[in-house]
Structure 1
């Protein structure tokens, strides 16, 4: 069985996720943009019984673009959001894909709130090669 570990930047708050996620998605909603500081959020959803959580977290509940709320758990030391619990999906935990720090993590196969996509966002295959200045 696959076991993946996600953690905050300082490592104090970390999760062990057993098995494969039931969904991997990117969200373009405005709230995810504000939460991540990026143009979308990437998340992996796991059944709660497949996730072991260790460390302290601060929590904040907010309403998303859907009108539903979720409780976000972030490290009180470094501030990184590691996971959240959507109130509309009890029994599931969403984990920030970036918290796995794993370039081999499976890609998303669902994209939501695409009406909020930034017009300048490019598909990965269309990005120019990196140039060093």
Structure 2
């Protein structure tokens, strides 16, 4: 089974995932915009198991529908690398697509919180859009 490694900017924090992504998406919610410093977050979900190397600092945020997400970032360079949903840590992980540093990474299939998407952001053809979170 193929593996991929995503890393923070300084290399101190890494996550290795196996297999193909369960899904790739972008989120335009205001919390993701603030968290990433960009106009959206690009994330890829992977099934467990995954292996983390290095030390992470954590931040827990409650989503609009009450789910709690535990974000992990590097305490040295500040890169927001991955997150899990509380109660599902053992089943999947969401990793920042840019942290793979792989321009051939699969494109997003879904776009959530389209109601917050900046008007100048163009999405790939055929992407499914949701006004908010469909979960």
TM over 0.5: yes
Residue 74 of structure 1 corresponds to which residue in structure 2? 73
Q: CA deviation at 1:124?
A: 6.4
CA distance in structure 2 between the aligned counterparts of 1:92 and 1:30, rounded to whole angstroms: 23
Q: CA RMSD in A?
A: 1.6
TM-score by length of 2: 0.85
Aligned length: 124
Structure 1 or 2: more helix by fraction: 1
Q: Which runs of 5+ in 1 are unaligned?
A: 126-133
- Deviations along 1:36-94, whole A, 9 cap, x unmatched? 11111010111121x11111000010123443220000001101011001126442110
Aligned structure 1 segments of 4 or more residues deviating by more than 6 angstroms: none
Q: Which runs of 5+ in 2 are unaligned?
A: 126-135
Larger mean CA deviation between 84-93 and 31-40 belongs to 84-93
CA distance in structure 1 between the aligned counterparts of 2:96 and 2:123, rounded to whole angstroms: 20
TM-score by length of 1: 0.86
